């Protein structure tokens, strides 16, 4: 308003008639504009159009703060799972529930785990996207395990399974395995097999998603993308490795 009043006063003899407009007209128009925007937002929320207009899905991120030492402990497993479920079931509308890297250290098809998860999803009518260890179901030389991010529906359908493609040397595989007869530093005797990267889809919410599992996110070429290509980047990690430290890219 200050600049406009200066502008108007430059040729004050010629444009004196614009003074009332500058003083009152513009504020009135701006007030209508702001009021209409607020009304529009209010009505969109009231009639649930905001999902249609802004394509929003309600997302719940679950951070259970489980110490690394308790993660692979069979005694702690059920408590950890209950904690995830309790946090996921808190009141409020939700479409996607996201758990962290390696939140499920057993395959979800294990019946007692599956029952608990499907119960939770049915109560919330939501999709779970979780990190976890998965396998290809084969044995001996052909058997492979993966550090994965996958999605489950309330009907028990698996929507996608993304395999971490940049594995952490020494933690998830042993470099120069043939030369160094050492075991990797994390639980389990098998090395993980890397995936191919890429995008995944949740058609139910029309979402195209770029998953990043922990330190995949430090490779610029791997992360680079455009808004046209996708709706959401899901960047999961397991910070528990570093205990109280705040880190940038924990493996």
Ligand X SMILES: *[C@@H]1O[C@H](CO)[C@@H](O)[C@H](O)[C@H]1NC(C)=O
How many of the chain's residues bind ligand X (CB under 6 A)? 14
Please name every residue paired with 162 in a beta bridge, in sequence order, or none if there are none: 149
Between 22 and 83, name the residue whose CB sits nearer to ligand X.
83
Stretch that binds ligand X, among 23-31, 99-107, 170-178, 231-239 (CB under 6 A): 231-239
Residue 250 main-chain phi, psi, to 5 deg: -65, 140
Q: Which residues are catalytic?
A: 101, 164, 214
SS3 149: strand
Residue 43 main-chain phi, psi, to 5 deg: -65, -40
Closest separation in Å from C-beta 123 to ligand X: 13
Task: Report the residue from 32, 42, 58, 249 that binds ligand X according to the rule CB under 6 A.
Answer: 249
235 binds ligand X (CB under 6 A): yes
CA distances from 123 to 63, 81, 156, 246 (A): 20, 16, 13, 34
b vs e for 11-27, b when ≥16 Cβ sit within 10 Å of the residue's Cβ? eeeeeeebeeebeeeee
Between 38 and 106, name the residue whose CB sits nearer to ligand X.
106
Closest separation in Å from C-beta 105 to ligand X: 16
Which 124-183 residues touch ligand X, going by CB under 6 A? Answer: none
Which 67-126 residues touch ligand X, going by CB under 6 A? Answer: 79, 82-83, 86
Closest separation in Å from C-beta 125 to ligand X: 13
DSSP string of 72-96, one letter each residue: T-HHHHHHHHHHHHHHHTSSS--SE
Q: Quick check: 95 and 59 in contact, CB under 8 A?
A: yes
The residue assigned the tokens 């990690």 is 237
**Angle formed at CA 122 by CA 116 and CA 127, multiple of 5 degrees:** 90
As a whole number of angstroms, the distance between CA 73 and CA 88 comes to: 22
Closest separation in Å from C-beta 206 to ligand X: 4
Stretch that binds ligand X, among 35-43, 147-155, 224-232, 233-241 (CB under 6 A): 233-241
237 binds ligand X (CB under 6 A): yes
Give first-to-last CA distance, the chain, whole Å.
Answer: 54
Task: Report the residue from 44, 159, 223, 230 that binds ligand X according to the rule CB under 6 A.
Answer: 223
Task: Report the residue from 59, 217, 222, 230 that binds ligand X according to the rule CB under 6 A.
Answer: 217
Stretch that binds ligand X, among 31-39, 155-163, 194-202, 204-212 (CB under 6 A): 204-212
Between 76 and 161, name the residue whose CB sits nearer to ligand X.
76
Residues lying near ligand X in the complex (CB under 6 A): 79, 82-83, 86, 205-206, 212, 217, 223, 233, 235, 237, 248-249
């Amino acid at each position: 308003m200050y600049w406009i009043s200066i502008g108007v006063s430059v040729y004050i003899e010629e444009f004196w008639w614009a003074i009332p407009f500058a003083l009152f007209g513009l504020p009135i128009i701006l007030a209508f504009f702001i009021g209409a925007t607020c009304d529009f937002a209010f009505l969109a929320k009231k009639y649930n159009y905001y999902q249609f207009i802004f394509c929003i899905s309600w997302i719940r991120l679950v951070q259970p703060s489980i110490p690394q030492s308790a993660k692979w402990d069979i005694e702690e497993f059920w408590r950890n799972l209950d904690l995830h479920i309790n946090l996921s079931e808190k009141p409020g509308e939700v479409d996607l529930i996201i758990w962290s890297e390696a939140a499920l250290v057993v395959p979800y098809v294990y019946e007692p785990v599956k029952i608990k998860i499907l119960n939770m999803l049915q109560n919330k009518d939501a999709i779970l996207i979780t990190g976890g260890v998965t396998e290809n179901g084969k044995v001996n030389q052909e058997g492979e395990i993966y550090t994965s991010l996958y999605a489950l529906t309330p009907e028990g359908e698996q929507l996608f399974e993304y395999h971490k493609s940049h594995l952490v040397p020494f933690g998830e595989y042993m470099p120069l395995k043939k030369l160094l007869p050492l075991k990797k530093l994390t639980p389990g005797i098998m090395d993980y097999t890397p995936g191919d990267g890429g995008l995944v889809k949740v058609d139910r919410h029309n979402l195209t998603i770029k998953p990043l599992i922990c330190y995949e996110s430090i490779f610029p070429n791997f992360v680079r993308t455009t808004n046209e290509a996708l709706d959401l980047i899901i960047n999961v990690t397991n910070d528990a490795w570093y205990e109280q430290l705040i880190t940038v890219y924990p493996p």
